[in-house]
């Protein structure tokens, strides 16, 4: 069953009912000012940091779980309705929500009136625009009243939800004409305020929530709307909101348009006030002036569309498979932008009040983002490297506003350092810009500690070499990629964090997964040395890779698949000898990708075991059989009921590893099959089971052992976005950046047929056609056959025609 459909020409998902199984959301904003918006216009806005600079309020664990956000009421006689269904909740005559690239459009119709609400954040400015177009399609004159409403958050979202003894006394506002300014704490230490305005004269306003709603009422039925009267209240303390009242008369066929703007401005410390207690409004007025007419808003909306056309033109596929085309050309890349911007901080599942930017998460998000905006990727790599410690280990997270490592969680996740190598190497393969390796980059943000980025990568590599366990395999520390495999934790008390509890640097527990990573990324580092540094260092790193490879073949192979780890007692994890948790997905994917035991056929065997044990209808489960009891020596993984999260769900992030691994051993059928199973567009028809958005990945889909098999959770913010795009665009369709140029080497099953890809790469345009013709193989470039798969980089601005005989 579906709740909408894809409109690929407009790059939209069109939701046709407000009653989706869960709120289906979208993101507004690309750089600084962000909004989350659901298919009933719920959600919230923030500037840079969802915890520290929250602009509008959101209630977690609320019922219904999606109230708030952009609230518009249209009062038509006795009937009050909302263009996005909520907050009024009145049944509409028709409803539609179009989630597009950085914008969402609602069209609601009721009693002959059509209201279209377009929400987006214009490029380069810190505001959300809501354009409301109202038309009278009936044959009678309509006298309508519009009420807008947003609810302010008192900036720090954690404090806002906790510290009532202070907060209920601090709210402050100013109202001038149609603009409501939110200036809580501006008198003291804040140099920023927000405002909500509309480009028309208002008939009234309210800023006091309790007056607007009335006693014991909720957002569906505010007393002011019911009585059709605004109170012109200026809140002092309590709960500040911003609501406009607009009265309009529409003749039959007549249409009116309003632009609402929610803005954020920062003011220099010495220019904060116009006069005593009165805020300096100049920067707000400048921002308001930019978007106060329909024409200006239309131009900004068009610019946003062109921005996305340009970005999505960098990699474009034309194939006979519509689902594949829409994922590759639109939704994979869009989700990569969102995960780059948000890391794992703010979604409908991540509150924005907890973790900021994750080290490993952000490094992996970059893998799918490099090609889109390489300059932002470069800056992000430097930010991330700056939270590394001198010994090569790293903080696990940082706050986007301060860019400082998060001391609450600290470090000790021993896979982290290697992800820095992965994303830096990928950046250079994409851009050819090796100057990043020379960039002076501090350790732990300490001024004066700067060393070239290359030195950071070296320390990442050395950290692994210097931290091996009894079998010569890398020590796991608090956890590797699987945050819930906590082999040094031994927690017995509820509430203890599995990840920060216990000795972080256990001297025994080892990770076969990190071994696989080291072989893969150690070799990538050696290539960087060879190209841009010293051949000697390249040789010595390859030698170290050889040692870990050998140790993995000797101690990391279980007979039919790769082991997962050795625990703190040096007992095997993920072995046929174990009663539960016999096989884990991660090392099968990574060690096969890394080519460990290739000559002995380990990869083939490992992937056959994956098929036998882990593949289900919707993807590949993370382990089997699931743990049914708590294992203190394994930690959080065994805390989840079977089939959920890291205990046997399809943890979608690692499914592309298996798919890429299949391409490494040349199994195109398996690669594409695994790709399709968990791919959102391919699951659209079972939306009532899957339940989350059919246009983006969710972090997990419950496994066969779960009560709700097939149900997804934690949509949008997952490393799957980047990895799935790398998998399909580079490994399967085969268009892969290398240090020496673009490589074309597909691994596609016959069912896909011929296809073509246009790719902008290092300043040139490649038109690549992949075709199967009996007896033909290899590549032609501009009509000339070439040796191998890598196309030498042409002069910038070239157009390169490539035919690949698959
Ligand atoms: C979450 C974390 C990620 C981790 C994964 C597996 O997605 O953000 O860092 O690798 O879970 O535990
Ligand atoms: C929990 C989650 C895991 C996530 C981690 C982040 O352990 O289960 O998916 O990576 O928290 O801290």
What is the residue-wise DSSP string for 280-323?
A: --HHHHHHHHHTSSHHHHHHHHHHHHHHHHHHHTSEEEE-S-HH
Residue 362's Cβ-count burial label (10 Å; 0-12, 13-18, 19+) is: buried
**Contacts made by residues 250-253, CB under 8 angstroms, sequence distance 24+:** 250/113, 250/134, 250/135, 250/136, 250/141, 250/142, 250/144, 251/136, 251/141, 252/136, 252/138, 252/139, 252/140, 252/141, 253/135, 253/136, 253/137
Question: 312 and 275 in contact (C-beta within 8 Å)?
Answer: no
Q: Could you say which DSSP state residue 98 is in?
A: E
Ligand 2, atom 11, lies closest to the CA of 483
Smallest CA separation from ligand 2 atom 6, residue: 483
Alpha-carbon distance 51 to 34, whole Å? 12
pLDDT in tens, 451-473: 999 999 999 999 999 999 999 99
* Mutation to probe ligand 1, out of 565, 652, 719, 722 (largest number of atoms < 8 A from CB): 719
Q: How many CB atoms lie within 10 A of CB 120?
A: 26
**The two structure tokens encoding residue 180:** 């409501």
Quick one: which atom of ligand 1 is closest to the CA of 360? Answer: 9
Q: Is the CB of 636 under 6 A from ligand 1?
A: no
What phi, psi does 508 have (nearest 5°)?
A: -120, -45
Q: What pLDDT was estimated at residue 501?
A: 84
Cα(641) to centroid of ligand 2, in Å?
15
362 lines ligand 1 (CB under 6 A): no
Contact 517, 413 (CB under 8 A): no
Q: Is 210 exposed, middle or buried (0-12, 13-18, 19+ CB in 10 A)?
A: middle
Q: How far away, in angstroms, is 358 Cα from ligand 1 center?
A: 9
Read off the tokens for 666.
Answer: 């040349």
Q: Which atom of ligand 1 is nearest to the CA of 361?
A: 9
Rg (CA), the chain: 28
* pLDDT-flagged residues of the chain (< 70): 503-504
Return the pLDDT at 504: 64
SS3 of residue 225 by DSSP: helix
Ligand 1 mean position to 408 CA, how many Å?
17
Contact between 682 and 323 under an 8 Å Cβ cutoff? The reply is yes
Count the alpha carbons within 13 Å of 653 in the hemisphere toward its beta carbon.
23
List ligand 2's pocket residues with C-beta within 6 A.
483-484, 499, 636, 645-646
φ, ψ of residue 737 in degrees (nearest 5): -70, 140
Atom of ligand 2 nearest to the CA of 498: 7
At a CB cut-off of 8 Å and minimum separation 6, what does 85 contact? Answer: 18, 40, 92, 95, 108
Which one from 45, 49, 483, 567 is the annotated catalytic residue?
A: 483
Cβ neighbours of residue 306 closer than 8 Å, sequence gap 6 or more: none
Q: Of 120, 25, 9, 113, which Cα lies nearest the Cα of 65?
A: 25
- CA distances (Å), origin 477, targets 280, 574, 643, 723: 51, 18, 26, 24
Q: What are phi and psi of 463, to 5 degrees?
A: -60, -40
Q: Tell me how far the alpha carbon of residue 289 lies from the centroid of ligand 2, in angstroms.
A: 44
- Atom 4 in ligand 2: residue holding the nearest Cα: 483
Ligand found nearest the CA of 623: 1
Residue reference for tokens 């973790």: 355
**Would you give the DSSP letter of residue 452?**
E
Nearest-angstrom CA–CA distance, 153 and 163: 12
Structure token pair of residue 370: 């490099």
Whether the Cβ atoms of residue 729 and residue 370 lie closer than 8 Å to each other: no
The Cα 135–Cα 114 span in angstroms is 5
Ligand nearest 636 Cα, by number?
2
Residue indicated by tokens 């039925």:
221
CA distance 240 to 194: 12
Pick the atom of ligand 1 nearest to 651's CA: 6
Residue 468 has phi, psi (to 5 degrees) of -110, 160
Cα–Cα distance measured from residue 647 to residue 484, given in angstroms and rounded to the nearest whole number = 9
Q: What ligand 2 atom has the least distance to the C-alpha of 483?
A: 10
Which residue has its alpha carbon closest to ligand 2 atom 12? 483
Buried b / exposed e over 564-593, threshold 16 CB at 10 Å, is bbbbbeeebbbbeebebbbbbbbbbbbbbb
**For residue 318, what pLDDT is reported?**
98
- Give the contacts of 63 (CB within 8 A, at least 6 positions apart): none
Cα 356 to averaged position of ligand 2 atoms, centre (Å): 13
Q: How many other CB atoms are there within 10 angstroms of residue 488's CB atom?
A: 23
Structure tokens, 392: 């090569």
In this structure, the number of other CB atoms found within 10 A of the CB of residue 266 comes to 12
Give CA–CA dist 381/435, Å, rounded.
13
Residue 604 to residue 727: CA distance in whole angstroms? 18
Cβ–ligand 1 distance for 358 under 6 Å, the answer: yes
Residue among 366, 416, 481 to mutate when testing ligand 1 (max atoms within 8 A of CB): 481
Q: Decide whether any atom of ligand 1 lies within 6 Å of the 699 Cβ.
A: yes
Strand partners, 554: none
The predicted pLDDT at position 14 comes to: 99
Q: Report the alpha-carbon angle 209-212-214, nearest 5.
A: 95
Nearest to 360, CA basis, from 412, 402, 406, 418: 418
Task: Reduce the secondary structure of 462-527 to three states and give it as a string.
Answer: HHHHCCECCCCCEECECCCCCCCCCCCCCCCCCCCCCCCCCCCCCCCCEEHHHHHHHHHHHHHHHH
Q: Is 365 a catalytic residue?
A: no
The answer to whether residues 172 and 279 touch, using CB atoms and an 8 Å cutoff, is no
* pLDDT at residue 355, as a whole number: 78
Q: Is 416 in the pocket of ligand 1 (CB under 6 A)?
A: no
């Amino acid at each position: 069953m579906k709740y909408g459909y894809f409109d690929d020409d407009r790059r939209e998902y069109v939701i046709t009912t407000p009653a989706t199984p869960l709120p289906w959301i979208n993101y507004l904003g690309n750089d600084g000012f962000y909004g989350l918006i659901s298919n009933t216009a719920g959600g919230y806005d923030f500037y840079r940091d969802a915890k520290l600079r929250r602009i509008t309020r959101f209630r977690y664990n609320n019922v219904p779980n999606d109230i708030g956000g952009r609230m518009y009421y249209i009062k038509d006689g006795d009937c009050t309705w909302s263009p996005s269904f909520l907050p009024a909740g009145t049944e509409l005559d028709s409803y539609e929500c179009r989630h597009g690239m950085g914008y969402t459009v609602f069209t609601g119709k009721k009693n002959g009136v059509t209201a279209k609400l377009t929400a987006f954040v214009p490029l380069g400015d810190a505001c959300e625009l809501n354009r409301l177009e109202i038309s009278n399609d009936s044959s009678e004159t309509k006298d309508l009243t519009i009420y807008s409403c947003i609810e302010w958050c008192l900036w720090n979202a954690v404090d806002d939800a906790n510290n009532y003894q202070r907060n209920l006394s601090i709210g402050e506002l100013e109202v001038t004409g149609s603009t409501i300014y939110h200036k809580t704490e501006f008198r003291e230490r804040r140099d920023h305020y927000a405002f909500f305005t509309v480009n028309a004269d208002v008939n009234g306003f309210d800023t006091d929530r309790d007056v607007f709603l009335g006693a014991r009422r909720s957002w569906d039925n505010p007393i002011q709307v019911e009585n059709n009267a605004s109170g012109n209240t200026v809140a002092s303390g309590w709960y500040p909101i911003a609501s406009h009242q607009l009265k309009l008369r529409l003749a039959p066929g007549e249409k009116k348009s309003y632009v609402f703007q929610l803005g954020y401005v920062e003011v220099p410390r010495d220019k904060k006030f116009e006069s005593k207690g009165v805020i300096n409004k100049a920067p707000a007025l400048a921002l308001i002036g930019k978007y106060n007419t329909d024409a200006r808003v239309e131009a900004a909306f068009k610019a946003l569309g062109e921005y996305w056309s340009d970005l999505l033109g960098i990699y474009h596929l034309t194939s006979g498979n519509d689902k594949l085309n829409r994922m590759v050309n639109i939704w994979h890349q869009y989700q990569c932008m969102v995960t780059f911007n948000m890391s794992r901080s703010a979604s409908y599942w991540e509150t924005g009040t907890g973790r900021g930017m994750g080290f490993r998460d952000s490094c992996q998000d970059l893998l799918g983002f490099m090609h889109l905006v390489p300059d932002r990727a470069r800056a992000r790599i430097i930010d991330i490297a700056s939270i590394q410690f001198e010994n090569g280990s790293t903080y696990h997270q940082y706050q986007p506003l301060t860019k400082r490592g998060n001391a609450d969680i600290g470090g000790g996740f021993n896979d982290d350092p290697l992800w820095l190598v992965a994303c830096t190497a990928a950046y250079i393969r994409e851009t050819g810009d090796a100057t990043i390796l020379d960039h002076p980059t501090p350790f732990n943000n300490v001024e004066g500690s700067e060393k070239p980025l290359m030195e950071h990568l070296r320390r990442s590599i050395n950290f692994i070499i210097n931290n091996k366990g009894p079998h010569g395999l890398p020590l796991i520390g608090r956890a590797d990629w699987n945050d819930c495999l906590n082999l040094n934790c031994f927690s017995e008390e509820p509430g203890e964090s599995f990840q920060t509890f216990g000795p972080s640097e256990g001297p025994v527990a080892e990770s076969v997964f990190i071994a696989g990573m080291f072989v893969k990324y150690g070799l990538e580092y050696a290539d960087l040395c060879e190209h841009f540094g010293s051949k000697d260092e390249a040789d010595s790193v390859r030698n170290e890779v050889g040692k870990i490879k050998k140790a993995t073949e000797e101690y990391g192979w279980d007979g039919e698949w790769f082991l997962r780890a050795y625990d703190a007692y040096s007992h095997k994890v993920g072995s046929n000898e174990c009663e539960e948790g016999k096989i884990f997905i991660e090392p099968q994917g990574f060690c096969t990708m890394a080519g460990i035991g290739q000559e002995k056929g380990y990869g083939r065997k490992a992937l056959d075991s994956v098929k036998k044990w882990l593949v289900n209808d919707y993807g590949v489960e993370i382990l089997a059989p699931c743990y049914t009891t708590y294992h203190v020596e394994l930690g959080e993984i065994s805390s989840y009921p079977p089939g959920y999260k890291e205990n046997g769900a399809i943890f979608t992030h690692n499914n592309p590893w298996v798919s890429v691994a299949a391409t490494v051993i040349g199994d195109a059928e398996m690669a594409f099959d695994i790709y399709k199973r968990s791919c959102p567009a391919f699951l659209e028809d079972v939306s009532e089971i899957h339940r989350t958005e059919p246009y983006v990945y969710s972090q997990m889909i419950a496994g066969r052992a779960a009560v709700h098999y097939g149900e997804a959770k934690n949509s949008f913010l997952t490393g799957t976005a980047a990895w799935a795009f790398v998998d399909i665009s580079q490994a399967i369709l085969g268009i892969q950046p290398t240090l020496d140029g673009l490589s074309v080497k597909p691994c596609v099953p016959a069912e896909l047929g011929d296809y073509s890809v246009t790719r902008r790469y290092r300043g040139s345009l490649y038109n690549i056609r992949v075709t199967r013709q009996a007896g033909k193989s290899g590549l032609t470039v501009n009509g000339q056959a070439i040796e191998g798969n890598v196309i030498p980089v042409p002069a910038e601005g070239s157009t390169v025609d490539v035919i690949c005989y698959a």
